[in-house]
Amino acid sequence: MNKFIIPTNMNHSGVKTIFTTRMDGDRKDPLKGFNLSFINGVSEGSCGEQKSIIENRSYLASFLGVNLDSLVIPVQRHTDKVWIISETSIQSPIEADAIITSMRGIVLGVLVADCVPILIYDPDSGVISAIHAGWRGTASGIIKKVLDIMNKKFNTSISKTIISIGPSIRWCCYEVDPDVLKAVEKETGNLKEYSKGKDNGKYYIDLALANQIQAVSLGASNIWISEECTHCNPERFYSYRYYKGVTGRQGGFIGII
């Protein structure tokens, strides 16, 4: 089984795109494996855990062909904030749930444990983006906001973008209340394409499909989606819901090297 997932539609020269897994995870241990986050739901971790996370990030950076300082991850807060990275802002992580850049030699990343990691590449301009989309980000149309910014600030043709949507919790496992469903529906449209009801008055929803639908509504068509569910595969992925909030994080990463 692959330790890193490489989306099949990102086969362009110069761009590197991967989604990570737990690698050697153990479903009985919520933190064991290739954890990339210093925040695990309990604390910021022991010195030993922090050292391990730094080693994991260093390994990832080396695999992608950059140094650790060139791995850029925002401070994620389930918002629709977008951070446009330039030479002057790269050293100071900003609170955001999406990042965009046209810079070469850096890797953009987002960390997830059930939420949807989305990577976008414009092969014409070389602009890239990484997005963390939970239900709040999806309900705020964060992927549409990113595509709109890429179009207006970088002259990206949305129809030519390449989008990869990594492993996340799918509608087989993601149960939500009606208010969450309504919030996502307001931004996305037709519920039947990404949700189904339950007898208890709650719903199953698929945020990966909802984000795909939002991107298609703006003209995107080259979209790859991982079929794996993070909640169904806790030995392979960290899952916030499976471990009831205490777990590590995998991620999605993209760079023009």
> Are 215 and 188 contacting, i.e. CB atoms less than 8 angstroms apart?
no
What does the mean pLDDT of the chain come to? Answer: 93
Q: 201 falls in which pLDDT band (50, 70, 90)?
A: confident
> What pLDDT digit, counting tens, does each position of 55-92 carry?
999 999 999 999 999 999 999 999 999 999 987 667 67
All structural domains of the chain: 4-246 (3.60.140.10)
How far, in Å, CA of 243 to CA of 220, rounded?
A: 35
Residue 23 has pLDDT above 70, yes or no: yes
> What pLDDT digit, counting tens, does each position of 136-169 carry?
999 999 999 999 999 999 999 999 999 999 999 9
Mean pLDDT of 227-245: 97
Is pLDDT larger for residue 13 or for residue 107?
Answer: 107
Q: 114 falls in which pLDDT band (50, 70, 90)?
A: very high
pLDDT the model gives residue 250:
98
Residue 1 has pLDDT above 60, yes or no: no
pLDDT the model gives residue 88:
66
| Chain Cα centroid distance, residue 235 | 19
Q: Computed from CA positions of residues 213, 6, 62, 160, in that sequence, does the dihedral angle turn out positive or negative?
A: negative
> What single-letter amino acid sits at 204?
Y
pLDDT the model gives residue 54:
95
